[in-house]
Amino acid sequence: MRIKVLKFGGTSVADPEKIRRAAERAAAARRAGWSVVVVVSAPGEMTDELLHLGRRVSSSPPARESDQLVAAGEVVSIALFSMACAELGVPAVSLTGPQAGIETAGPHANARILRIRPGRILSELRAGRVVVVAGFQGSAAGGDLATLGRGGSDLTAVALAARLGARHCEIFSDVKGIYTADPRIISNARKLRSIGFEAMLELSGAGAQVMQPRSIELARSAGLPLQVRSAFHAQEGTWIVADRSRGNTPSRRPPMARAVTEKTQVSSLAIHKGEVLLSIVDVPDRPGAAAAILARLSGAGIPLDMILQSASGRSKTVSLSFMTDRSHAARARAALAEAARRLPGGSARVETDDRIAKVSVVGTGFRRSPEVAARVFDTLSKSRINIRMISASDLRISCVVEASQGEAALRALHGAFGLAARR
C-alpha cells in the first residue's frame, strides 16, 4: 500500500463548507491511488468553547474529565469529515483515538503516545476506505481517554505516518508554507520550497507557531518528509525534509527531486513577542551562585530559552538573565526571588521586563560562517536598534530587542539577507 497521511487543523474544518473542501482533497488522493489516512483537529474554536464550559461548572476541572470533555471536539470532526467523503462517493470510516489503536502514557492533558496498534486502520485501508482519525487523543491505561496537549493533532498525524510506513505526511492549515519571515509583517517574504528538520525545529523554538516541535522531532527521527501547506489553496507548500548538507538524519527514502534545501545559509527569520526577560542582578560573584539559581528554576519546571551571565563592573557581583515564556513568568519570578533570598549578602534583586521581542535568524552552518553574526550586528546597529541580549548556535542567532523595535529589526534583517521574493 502507498499510504499518505493528511492532517487538517481546526481552521480547515471550522464549518461544513470547509469540511467539504478538505474532504475533496482526501477524495482526490484516494482516486489517485493512494491509501489515505486523515487526521483532524476539533472544528474551529470548539476546544476552547468546551474548556470554557468546563470552567463554568468547576473552578479547577479534574484533568481526566477535561480530557474526556475536549476529546469530544475531534469526534465531531471525524464523523462530519467521513460523511463528507461518503457524499463525494468515497467510502470512509471515522475512528476515535482509542478506536484507531492509539495508546498513551503520562499525565492527562499532556500524554505521550506509547504505541499504536494499527490493525483496525490497516484493515479499513485494505477495504479501500479513507480512514479519518481523531487527532490529539488516545486511550490511557484502563480505557480512559487522554489528550496529547496543544498541537497534539500534528503529533497524531506524524506518529501514524511513521507507524504505517507512509510515504509522507501533509499538514494542512491556514498558512501556505514556511516563509523567510512572517508574511503578515514582511510583505515581500518568500515561501520556501523546503527546509531541513533542524532549521524547522529552531524556527519553532524561535516563535514560529506553524508546527508543534514534538512532531517535527518525531518526523526527523523517523525520516518522514512533511509538507506544510494551505487547506484553501491548491499550490504546493513547504517540504520539511532531512537536510542532506548536514547528513545526520538519513531519510528512509530518496529525497524528492524538488525537496532540496535552499542554497542560502539563512533560510528564515522569526519574531517572538510572547516571552519575558528575567534578570537577577547584584549576585555575589562566588562559585556555585549561578548553579544554585539555575537549579531553583529547573526545580520549578521553568523552561529557559536564553541564559546570559554578565559581570557588573568593579562591584564583584554578576547578573544572570533568562528568557522564558510569558505563561511561566509569575512562577519564574517567584523561584528567582526565593533564590535571591538564599544568596549570601542579601543584595541580589529580581527584575522583569516584558516589553521585549526576540528576533531570530535561522539557517545552517552559522558556526562556519561568522559573517552571518557580523551582518546581524551591523544591520541592527545601522538601524539604531539596541540589542539587549544575544545568543548564537550553529542553526540560530537570536537577539532580544525593545518590543517597539522588533518588527523594524525583522524588516531590516530580511532585507540584509536578501530573503525577499523576486518580483
DSSP helix/strand/coil, 251:
coil
Does 58 bind a copy of itself (CB under 8 A)? Our answer is yes
Q: What is the DSSP string of 166-181?
A: -SEEEEEESS-S-BSS
The nearest distance, CB 96 to a copy of itself, in angstroms, is: 8
Does 93 bind a copy of itself (CB under 8 A)? Our answer is yes
Angle value at C-alpha 153, between 152 and 157, nearest 5 degrees? 120
Count of residues of this chain found to bind a copy of itself when the rule CB under 8 A is applied: 42
The nearest distance, CB 36 to a copy of itself, in angstroms, is: 16
Rounded-to-integer distance, Cα 168 and Cα 312, Å:
52
Cα-Cα-Cα-Cα dihedral of 360, 363, 364, 369, to 10°? -70
Q: Looking at 3-11, 142-150, 195-203, 252-260, which segment touches a copy of itself (CB under 8 A)?
A: 142-150
Contact 95, 164 (CB under 8 A): no
Q: Which residues of 129-145 are buried (b: 16+ CB within 10 A; e: fewer)?
A: bbbbbbbbbbbbeeeeb
Does 89 bind a copy of itself (CB under 8 A)? Our answer is no
Does 80 bind a copy of itself (CB under 8 A)? Our answer is yes
Does 248 bind a copy of itself (CB under 8 A)? Our answer is no
Does 122 bind a copy of itself (CB under 8 A)? Our answer is no
Does 51 bind a copy of itself (CB under 8 A)? Our answer is no
Instruction: Give the residue, chosen from 56, 184, 341, 422, that forms a contact with a copy of itself under the rule CB under 8 A.
Output: 56
Instruction: Give the residue, chosen from 33, 89, 143, 254, that forms a contact with a copy of itself under the rule CB under 8 A.
Output: 143
Contact 7, 39 (CB under 8 A): yes
Q: Which three cell numbers stand for residue 305?
A: 530559552
Does 16 bind a copy of itself (CB under 8 A)? Our answer is yes
Q: Looking at 13-21, 348-356, 362-370, 382-390, which segment touches a copy of itself (CB under 8 A)?
A: 13-21
Phi/psi at 55 (nearest 5 deg)? Answer: -70, -25
The nearest distance, CB 80 to a copy of itself, in angstroms, is: 5
Q: Which of 324, 309, 231 is nearest to 24 (CA)?
A: 231
50 vs 387, which CB is nearer to a copy of itself?
50
Rg (CA), the chain: 23
Q: Which three cell numbers stand for residue 162?
A: 511513521
92 vs 372, which CB is nearer to a copy of itself?
92
Binding region for a copy of itself (CB under 8 A): 16, 19-20, 23, 50, 53-54, 56-59, 61-62, 64-66, 68-69, 71-73, 75-76, 78-80, 82-84, 86-87, 92-94, 96, 98-99, 120, 142-145
